[in-house]
Structure formats: structure tokens, C-alpha cells
Amino acid sequence: MTKKKDKKEMLQQAKRLRQARGKATKFIKKKVDSNFNQLADSVNVGDNDIIEIDFKTFKTNMGKTIVLTHRVATTETINVIDEMYGLSEKVPYFQDIVDKRLNDFNKKNAGETVKKIDKVTKEKINKIITERQADGINAKQIAKEVKENVKDMTKSRSLTIARTETAKATAYANWMLAHETLVNTKVWIHVGGGKKHRENHLNMDGEERPLDELFSNGLQYAHEVGASAGEVINCYCTTTYKFKV
């Protein structure tokens, strides 16, 4: 394959993967929105003016959403690669591979992700309650402000959560699928879209590495699980693979 043809294929793969990621993100954002809205609706003033918030249900619902995120995103990603390279016809037990990788990912990462979302949400809400109580504001007024604040989180956090988790899921699915096929090369594709480019990601555009070698920023692939927030939040980059099945 010539370099020109090779580059064209990688860009086409990146484009289709981004489209799949966008489709999954849109679907998941609605689920995350619903979780935050339900949390807002649960805010209530109980006996002795104690502000009650149903974090337990929020955490349970968010857990289900994260698991669903990885199933939807993985399915969309696998379908793209299968359509481009016909993996389901060429790789033995293809669907078993998909299911196994998905289950492994959920076991290792879904629970931890939910804990982080729950922790940040509680910290934001508790900060409001503590500050308003110190100001002498009554419980009903505090509860009203908390409810409004949680609804604002739907606008400010839902899309970020949906984008980040969908990106992690699609990236992981592609990375693990590459290991089940005859892939030996990966390429980092920089994609703009955010308010500001990450200079290191921009400079990495087109960077090519052997499958198990780290890219110059220390990651195995874009949106790698466990990467720092500075590398993944609102990042639109994609890692493509030279499938040779």
C-alpha cells in the first residue's frame, strides 16, 4: 500500500470512528441528563430541616448508564471496523471477542468511573449547603438552590461525561480488537474541535508507532483508560490501526 493510499485509509477510518463516537455520545448524553434531573428532583427538606438528596439512586442509575455507554460505543466502533475490513467473516469467534473485551472493560473501569462522578457531584452540592448554612439561609431556600445547581450540572457536566466515557469505550474497543487481528501499526490522528488545540496532540498528527509502543506523549492510544484529564477531557483525537486481516 502506497503512503498516499495508506494515509487516505487512516483518515477515512478516523472519520468513521468519530461519526460512530458522536452517535453514541448523543444517545448517552440523554441518559446522563436524565440521571442529573432525577437527582435534582430528589432534593427535599425532611424533619428538623435536614436536606435530603437521593444519591444512592443517582449512583445506581449512573452505574447502569456507564455500562450502557461502553456497550453502545463498543458496538458502534466494532460495526465500523467490521464494515471496513470484514472482520466478522475473517476472525474466528469474532462476537465472543467483542463480548469478552467489553465485559473486561466494565469490570475494571465502570465502578471506578461512577465513584468519581458521584464524589465530584457530592462535593459540589455539599459545598453549597455548607456555605449557605454558614450564611444563615433557611433549609428550604438552600434546597431550592441545590436543585437549581444540579439542573445546571445537566448542562455543564452531562456532555463532558458522555463525550469522555464514549471516547474511552470506543478507543479501548478498537485497541483490543487490534490485538486480536494482524495489526502491527497504529497512527495518531489529531482532530480539532475544542476551543483550544493541545500543542502536543497537534504535533503528533500522523505519528506512527508499532502496536505496543507508546506514542510520544506516553499513551498507548488516544483516550487511553487511566490517562490524565489533561490528555482526554474534550480531546477529539483518534487512534487508527492498519488492519491486515
pLDDT at 121 over 70: yes
Q: What is the tens place of the pLDDT at every residue in 50-84?
A: 999 999 999 999 999 998 988 888 888 888 988 88
Helix H or strand E segment including 236? none
> Sign of the C-alpha dihedral, residues 226, 230, 232, 234?
positive
CA distance 106 to 154: 24
Grid cell digits, residue 189: 490522528
Give residue 99's pLDDT: 74
- pLDDT band, residue 6 (cuts 50/70/90): confident
Q: What percent of the chain has a predicted confidence (pLDDT) above 90?
A: 53
Q: What is the DSSP letter of 215?
A: P
Helix H or strand E segment including 192? none
Per DSSP, the residues of 79-120 read: HHHHHHH-HHHHSTTHHHHHHHHHHHHIIIIIHHHHHHHHHH
Q: What is the tens place of the pLDDT at every residue in 164-207?
A: 899 988 898 888 888 877 788 999 999 765 567 788 898 999 99
Q: Which residues contact 48 (CB under 8 A, 6 or more apart)?
A: none
Question: What is the length of the chain?
Answer: 245
Beta carbons of 113 and 23 less than 8 angstroms apart: no
Beta carbons of 187 and 10 less than 8 angstroms apart: yes
pTM of the model: 0.85
Among all chains, which residue has been given the C-alpha cell 434546597? 143
CA distance 164 to 161: 5
Mean pLDDT of the chain: 88
Q: What is the tens place of the pLDDT at every residue in 77-120?
A: 888 988 888 877 777 666 676 677 667 777 677 888 899 999 99
Q: What is the tens place of the pLDDT at every residue in 130-167?
A: 999 999 999 999 999 999 999 988 888 999 899 989 99
Residues facing residue 84 across a β-bridge: none
